[in-house]
Amino acid sequence: MSRTPGKPLSPSLARILGVPSAAAVTVGLMIGSGIFRVPSSVAASVEGVGAIGLLWIAGGLLALFGSLSVAELAGLYPETGGVYVFLREAYGRLPAFLYGWTRLLLLVPASIGAISLILAAYLSAFLPVDRVGERWVAAAVIVFLTALNYRSLLWSALLENTMTALKLLALTALAVSIFAFGHGSDGALASAPEFAPASWAGFGLALVTAMWTYSGWSSIAAMAGEVRDPSRNVPRALIGGVVAVLVVYLAINAAYLYVLTVDEMAGSSLVAADAASRVFGGPGASIVAGLVVISTFGAVQAAIMFNPRIFYAMAADGLLLAPLGRAHRTYLTPHLAILLTSALGIGYVLIRSFEQLAQAFILGVWPFHILVVWSVFRLRRLRPDAERPYRTWGYPFVPAAFLLASVAMVLTALFEKPGLTLFGFGLILAGVPVYLIARRQAPPCRPS
């Protein structure tokens, strides 16, 4: 038997999050390190100003179409676990387990590790630490945020709300300041836009990279068990958060191109700092360093908030160690799942580089994004009479567009980076024998 749609996975987790806090988790996780680093890679791959704009719009629409689709599933199954629950209900326990397995070994440590490494690197502008020291600083940040999330969801939500508001205000202020005080005649926007990319294969591969900055668009669905009136509020938080991020990303990329040429943007490893320095001189780099620290700190906090809820849901289904599916008796948090998440992030941050972590994350998560959006079609056919407080806007065209673009993106990655892509697929499939062992100990949930 599958669980009744709308029934929380565990009544022991407290429903205290409203729409602002839920949206803050979405925005906080999406806006992390990527927007300060990825634009230079995008510029190098697609070259034309118009093509750069099209790529960022395409990435934003892909995330928006995905969130519009996932919002229907979140309303249908407002449970702790998010994508894990949607996959379980649509396809059975094996695909759901493989998603959780991939998050356990790859996605969670990759996302937390990559973002915290960027935080530490920019913090070194204010603290005298070397490369080894940066790794320990990143680990210390993870430990601090783990303690906060272990102790209180309310405290961690207040921190996330504050950090998200700060990063949105700071990014907006940076974009407005560049336009107000910069010299537009020096930048790429002064010339006629070229909308054709250098190559469409390069455009597709650049889209894979750009999606790192949009990753996290489905995150709040994993915390539905702690959101008030989740059938309505989770869809609002999903869609509102993605729209806010799309607007901010377009504004800040336009600001970069206002004062930098495409070649300068492509050759910069610190594009935000270079754009700010062009306008404000030496202090500009320090301003951006502080902004990156704020942004990445909020992103690590959001990752430590939502990822443990997936492991909590898996453990409640009997597919991970049972203690991970328990809430703390006093704090009402999935405390052991939080500790596991922290340990994975610290482990990876001490042994992997940012580039390795970012690429592994995107190529590992996207096959599951394809499956979960396809489940909108599947569940409408399997359960046509189930109550759906929110129905995907633009159905069937919106989810179909997401699927076509996503498949094209994954195929591009397969042809351009076959080794890395096949490694990700291999890691996913390696979870099959683990599942066969785990299911022997698991209570019945639904046929698979």
Residue 425 pLDDT: 79
Model confidence at 370: pLDDT above 80: yes
Per cent of the chain over pLDDT 90 is 34
SS3 of residue 384 by DSSP:
coil
- The answer to pTM > 0.95 is no
User: Strand pairing partners for 17?
Assistant: 227
Interval 52-78: pLDDT, tens: 999 999 999 999 999 999 999 998 998
Lowest mean pLDDT across 124-128, 312-316, 434-438: 124-128
Interval 105-135: pLDDT, tens: 777 777 788 788 888 888 877 888 887 788 8
DSSP 169-225: HHHHHHHHHHHHHS-GGGSGGGSPP--S-S-HHHHHHHHHHHHHHHTTTTGGGGBGG
- Distances in whole angstroms, Cα of residue 49 to Cα of each of 58, 95, 195: 14, 40, 7
Residue 1 pLDDT: 38
Interval 168-219: pLDDT, tens: 999 999 999 999 998 888 888 888 778 888 788 778 878 888 887 888 888 8
pLDDT band, very low/low/confident/very high, at 448 (cuts 50, 70, 90): very low
DSSP 354-406: HHHHHHHHHHHHHHHHHHHHHHHHHHHHH-TTS--SS--TTTTHHHHHHHHHH
The structure tokens listed for 447 are 């046929």
Which one has a higher pLDDT value, 448 or 408?
A: 408
Lowest mean pLDDT across 140-144, 220-224, 357-361: 357-361
CATH number for the domain formed by residue range(s) 19-438: 1.20.1740.10
Q: How far apart are CA 229 and CA 336, in angstroms?
A: 26
SS3 of residue 448 by DSSP:
coil
Model confidence at 13: pLDDT above 90: no
Residue 6 pLDDT: 41
Mean pLDDT of the chain: 85
Q: Which of 23, 71, 80 is nearest to 308 (CA)?
A: 80
Residue 292 pLDDT: 87
Domain chopping of the chain, boundaries: 19-438
Phi and psi (nearest 5°) for 201?
-65, -40
Residue 12 pLDDT: 61
Interval 320-368: pLDDT, tens: 888 888 889 898 899 999 999 899 888 877 765 555 555 556 667 788 9
Q: How far apart are CA 226 and CA 218, in angstroms?
A: 15
H or E element: which one contains 389? none
Residue 352 pLDDT: 57
Cis, bond preceding 197 (omega within 30 deg of 0): no
